Structure 1
Amino acid sequence: MTTRPGPIDVHAHWLPQHFFGLAPGSPLPPLQDRSGQLHLGDLPLSIATEAMSDIDRVLADTDTAGLGSRVLSAPPFAFPVVDDRGVDDFVGTFNDDLEKACRDSAGRLLGLGLVSLHRPESARKQIAHLASSDVLRGIAVPPLLGSTSFDVSPMREILGAAAEHDVAVLVHPMQLPRPEWASHYLANLIGNPVESATAAAALTLGGVLDELDGLRVCLVHGGGCAPALVGRWQHGWTHRSDVRAAGSRAPQEAFADLWFDTLTHDVDALELLAAKADPTHLMAGSDYPFDMGTHDPLQLPHAAGIDDAALETNARAFLGLDTQE
């Protein structure tokens, strides 16, 4: 796959309007276009409908952001989090549409497809199909499925299939509601970083990264609050046998195997992430077109001393692209 030269945004979303009904069995209300603005049921999302659904708008905004290319995945409210008999068809149709949109973009768009989260055998077949595409480079999944994460089935099996087929995995939080986070948008402002940290803990303390050698997993939003917690995990691993029971490596060492986007909203937070993570595993991310994203995904990494060449090289390695193209 030949992509346009320049930094790559690994964290952006797209959902055409014929998927606005969301995945079969979704607990969420369908999306609606109201006078050009996107609503989730009656909830306004502060997103222009065409920014989420129209490829021409996505391409124009990609150019405006100074990017070489952008990696599209479904928004998290479209994840198939309920085991419904129609999920396999929904996933297959979305992935086919995403592949066509990327293939028609002249090297400016790549994609991360969906999988049937509750059905590892279906997911394995879907991942094998994605692996045969030069424009679909992996999968996007939530950090939690019900009350479980990546250290147990079915999510652990899905990661095993991703590692087997050498595809990338992007982990995006779901903004799950909790009563104590009902006001002030805390389900996002606190909930999303906590979901990502939970996934990071499951991956490092659960021995997943040790078992699945070569697995490439990116936690968006800079890994949420995980960079600030990894020292605490290290202390627990050192002093408690139950913390180190499932993993063979110290958390600080395993944490360096994870990948992250740079969307931390704060230079100090990004510098903390860079101190805890492998610097070659940091990539530009915008969360386009969400209101908690940015129209300029290069500004923050530039402020932290990460240049465009590094951002492009790192993203190409994560996506399994030839770094010599």
Structure 2
Amino acid sequence: MAPADSACQRHVMIDGRVYRTVPDSSWDAERREADMARTAVAHQVVSPMPELLSYWLHADDALALTRFMNDELALLVQSRPQRFTGLGAVPLQDVDLAMRELDRLVCDLGLAGVEVGSNINGKPIGHPDFEPFFAAAESLGAAIFVHALRPCGMDRLVGPPLLEQVLAFPGEVGLAAASLMTSGTLLRHPRLRVAFSHGGGALPMILPRLQHAWEHMAPVHQCMAQSPRDLARQMFYDDLVYDGAAIDYLLDVYGPTQVMAGSDYPFAIMDREPATRIAALGLDEATQRQLRRDNALRWLSIVKPWAE
């Protein structure tokens, strides 16, 4: 971090260059709580900014960074357990180190799980190299949140660099979700609780195509012993798609038990009124409650929930 022009901001630096300028709500609990009160949010699930997962660092350096972040996140959660739940980070460029830190952040720090990138230095999360990590997460009962990170094909974008987040993230996270299906990871680890950012990105649109291929193309059928439609409904998805009709489609594709509120707070692309957006969908109260609260509790395996 480096100071920015405002005392309430900091620059995130990568390779000596400003990657992003972030507000103090990224780390200031009181500022977060004030924003939560304004937007009718009772509880936040807090995780690192994805770029800080730092898979491109040497593994030992990444471990030091993730341990620091996890320790600080645990202090935040411990100071306000009724307001915050934490998801940590692990250095997945070294699976053994990642498994060790996963055990520490769950068993010693009390975090609910971990955030991972959609790919680790170009390897999709469904790659066989990460099988031991998912086995460990299943055994520990750790929730996993997959966020789009450093997508390929950036040379195809025309416009400012931030279009990476706007245009490329949905395709990237959709491929990540599909990789857990086509690799057999979900079938080998049926108790995994995995959630995806951005409504699963492109997944709901490519899922019918994948389902059709599974039904009519032998190689596709052979890589999945269960239908893609059913596999997709084993995972969780945030509703951060910025449009009521799009959320309705997520509910139709994934089912109302698998979609939950997301905000991308505190960044510029965040949904500033997540509770209002859910209320405007015209759903019955039970389904609204699933989106606002109950589905997240199931994903996080929280049995003594916070108050709404």
User: How far apart are the structure 1 equivalents of 2:30 and 2:180?
Assistant: 37
User: How far apart are the structure 2 equivalents of 1:274 and 1:40?
Assistant: 36
Residue 193 of structure 1: which of 170, 176, 181 is its match?
Answer: 170
* Aligned match of 1:181: 157
User: How far apart are the structure 2 equivalents of 1:324 and 1:292?
Assistant: 28
Tell me if 1:265 matches 2:239.
Answer: no
Q: CA deviation at 1:157?
A: 2.7
Tell me if 1:223 matches 2:194.
Answer: no
User: How far apart are the structure 2 equivalents of 1:55 and 1:182?
Assistant: 38
Q: CA deviation at 1:175?
A: 4.6
Extract unaligned runs of 5+ from structure 2. none
Amino acid at match of 1:150: I
Equivalent pair of 2:56/2:121 in contact (CA under 8 Å): no
Residues 302-321 of structure 1 aligned to structure 2 (within 5 Å): 302-304=279-281, 305=283, 306-308=287-289, 310-321=291-302
Amino acid at match of 2:136: A
User: How far apart are the structure 1 equivalents of 2:291 and 2:165?
Assistant: 29
User: How far apart are the structure 2 equivalents of 1:32 and 1:76?
Assistant: 20
**Number of residue pairs matched?**
295
Q: CA deviation at 1:79?
A: 0.8
Equivalent pair of 2:137/2:143 in contact (CA under 8 Å): yes
Higher helix share: 2
Cα deviations across residues 139-180 of structure 1 (Å, max 9, x unaligned)?
Answer: 001011122212214333322211111110001112536111
Compute the RMSD of aligned alpha carbons. Answer: 2.1
Extract unaligned runs of 5+ from structure 1. 1-19, 21-30
Q: CA deviation at 1:32?
A: 4.7
Residue 112 of structure 1: which of 76, 87, 94 is its match?
Answer: 87
* Aligned match of 1:144: 119
Q: Secondary structure at the match of 1:154?
A: helix
Residues 60-75 of structure 1 aligned to structure 2 (within 5 Å): 60-75=34-49
Equivalent pair of 1:263/1:300 in contact (CA under 8 Å): no
Residue 171 of structure 1: which of 136, 142, 146 is its match?
Answer: 146
* Aligned match of 1:126: 101
Amino acid at match of 1:146: N
Equivalent pair of 2:237/2:259 in contact (CA under 8 Å): yes
Residues 237-316 of structure 1 aligned to structure 2 (within 5 Å): 237-304=214-281, 305=283, 306-308=287-289, 310-316=291-297
User: How far apart are the structure 1 equivalents of 2:229 and 2:164?
Assistant: 28
User: How far apart are the structure 2 equivalents of 1:269 and 1:249?
Assistant: 26
User: How far apart are the structure 2 equivalents of 1:32 and 1:161?
Assistant: 38
Equivalent pair of 1:257/1:278 in contact (CA under 8 Å): no
Amino acid at match of 1:76: P
Equivalent pair of 2:53/2:66 in contact (CA under 8 Å): no
Residues 62-101 of structure 1 aligned to structure 2 (within 5 Å): 62-84=36-58, 85-101=60-76
Q: CA deviation at 1:182?
A: 4.3
Tell me if 1:33 matches 2:4.
Answer: yes
Q: Secondary structure at the match of 1:203?
A: helix
* Aligned match of 1:10: none
Amino acid at match of 1:144: N
* Aligned match of 1:13: none
Name the structure, 1 or 2, with higher relative contact order (CA <8 Å, separation 6+): 1
Equivalent pair of 1:51/1:57 in contact (CA under 8 Å): yes
Task: Say which is worse superposed, 211-220 or 141-150, in terms of deviation.
Answer: 141-150
Equivalent pair of 2:199/2:250 in contact (CA under 8 Å): yes
User: How far apart are the structure 2 equivalents of 1:138 and 1:44?
Assistant: 26
Q: 1:290 to 1:155 in 2, by over 3 A?
A: farther
Q: CA deviation at 1:250?
A: 1.0
Amino acid at match of 1:195: E
Q: Secondary structure at the match of 2:4?
A: strand
Q: CA deviation at 1:302?
A: 2.1
Q: 1:74 to 1:192 in 2, by over 3 A?
A: same
Q: What is the TM-score normalised by the length of structure 1?
A: 0.84
User: How far apart are the structure 2 equivalents of 1:227 and 1:243?
Assistant: 18
